[in-house]
Amino acid sequence: MAAIASTLIPNPNPSSNAIVSSLRSPPSFIASTSCLFGNKFLVKPLLAPTMRAQTKRSDGTAPFQRLKPIKVSSHTFDVVVVGAGIIGLTIARQFLMESDLSVAVVDAAVPCAGATGAGQGYLWMVHKAPGSDKWELAMRSRKLWEMFAENVQHQGMNPLEMLGWKKTGSLLIGRTSQDSAMLKRRVDQLSEAGLRAEFLSHGDLLLKEPALMIGKEGGAAFLPDDCQIDAQRAVSFIEKVNRHFASEGRYAEFYYEPATSLLRSGSGEVKAVQTSKNTLYSKKAVIIAAGCWSGTLMHDLIRDTGLDLDVPVKPRKGHLLVVENLNSFILNHGLMEAGYVNHEAGTLHSSVSASGPVDAESLSVSMTATMDSRGDLVLGSSRQFVGFSTEMNESVINRIWERAGEFFPTLRELSLRDFCQSRKVRIGLRPYMPDGKPVIGAVPGLSNLFLAAGHEGEGLSLALGTAEMVANLVLGSPGTVDHAPFALENRLWA
């Protein structure tokens, strides 16, 4: 989801022809001779000493700061990635670490200014369906995230500090006998698919989560190995890994530079991305990974190509409520209600006013609850189609709080008004695809142009598998996961 609370600081020299680095600085880390997915780093600091010496914020990360622009010596790269969310940055990382190609990342803002920065950060499998088109991609991404966290630890760093990595386990909760029957079937399916899964009866569930209140007919599917991350920390870490390759002339960032058009050769190949300030030539591939903006961006970029393609990625607005310092409330695992599965798969409804009363037919609210890496309670989640509006709607926040109170009696005893000074609201736009699957692959009719978008609320959980798939497609390497379910053919509207 797209965070409207992201701190955006203007380019310190807007007229310069320069790379503007992201303004966030994560905790400092040192590269070691061990590897992340097989590529060795040099034994040297990846951050300048002055940055490493900065005082940390209360959440353990370094303060935001303005980095000096780096002058560009060449505007030609092997790969140009448009979009600096989790999908775009992990795609860049994949090329940098698994090939010798050079990469440029372009964005109209900075990392975590879009969907990535506003999510809950869960990498759960409990609500996913074995055998579905997305299952193998989700399983591959899960494995890659686990490898990522393990390698961070092997390099002498703390995955919790660097990535917000926590092995919380996840609970998919039902309150009726019908829910329990469905959850038992899901546990059987997840177990057959190779995951540790267990059905918890009402009594067993309350032993794990005493704050819950469900009927005696209720229960939960429990996956003890499910994990979550902090998107801001994970993106900061990935960004620093990518920047390691800048000294080799293989990586550059062009932030605050919206892409405005594509340049093609006489044979029709996409050869460059024109931004508001630069022309970035690509020798091998241009990849559009701009989240919910991918549909409208593609429309603008191909306007003069003569092709009549419509990429049906739409923004799907969501609110999350973060309650700070609620020390009296204990949550031991990540939770979501069973209805979340249908909530996530909901279809397009008509728009409603972003500031007025909520139209019940256009809004879907389903309970999710996590504790973030700072120990704050994060409650969700809402879904509605209101275009690109990111205005906060207080009535949606009230609905989220009320829905959480149906599961947690302690919250019903508290008034949301009491938390005016200790709450935050994350608002973002998920990239929705009508068929519920991301589009990943070459764009028909535009050689060298690729698309990776439409992950809805699964961008974090599917990011590493998506990055691997895109790199394999561009490089012509055999894929670990079948690409066919995500190909663009027959999924773009003409």
Beta strands in 363-416 (DSSP E): 363-371, 377-384
- 346-358: b (≥16 Cβ within 10 Å) or e: beeeeebebeeeb
Return the pLDDT at 493.
57
pTM: predicted TM-score of the whole model, two decimal places: 0.84
In the three-class reduction of DSSP (H, G, I as helix; E, B as strand; rest coil), residue 390 is classed as: coil
- Among the listed residues 150, 175, 173, 172, the one whose alpha carbon sits nearest the alpha carbon of residue 163: 150
Return the pLDDT at 237.
96
Beta strands in 129-227 (DSSP E): 170-174, 198-201, 219-223
Rounded CA separation 97/209 (Å): 41
Domains in the chain (CATH in brackets) are: 73-156+230-313+435-486 (3.50.50.60), 167-226+314-347+361-432 (3.30.9.10)
For residue 445, the 8-state DSSP code is: T
Q: Are strands 439-442 and 449-453 parallel, antiparallel or unpaired?
A: antiparallel
Q: Residue 129, exposed/middle/buried by CB under 10 A (0-12, 13-18, 19+)?
A: middle
Return the pLDDT at 420.
80
Rounded CA separation 88/99 (Å): 16
User: What are the backbone angles phi and psi of residue 383, rounded to the nearest 5°?
Assistant: -145, 130
- Among the listed residues 95, 85, 37, the one whose alpha carbon sits nearest the alpha carbon of residue 452: 85
CB proximity list for 266: less than 8 A, separation 6 or greater: none
In order along its 494 residues, the chain shows pLDDT tens digits of 433 332 222 233 333 323 322 333 333 332 333 344 333 333 233 333 233 333 343 444 443 333 344 444 348 999 999 999 999 999 999 999 999 999 999 999 999 887 888 989 999 999 999 999 999 999 999 999 999 999 999 999 999 999 999 999 999 999 999 999 999 999 999 999 999 999 999 999 999 999 999 999 999 999 999 999 999 999 999 999 999 999 999 999 999 999 999 999 888 899 999 999 999 999 999 999 999 999 999 998 888 777 778 899 999 999 999 999 888 899 999 999 998 887 555 554 433 333 334 444 478 999 999 999 889 999 999 999 999 999 999 999 999 999 999 999 999 989 888 888 889 999 999 999 999 999 999 998 899 999 999 999 999 999 999 999 999 999 999 999 999 999 998 776 54
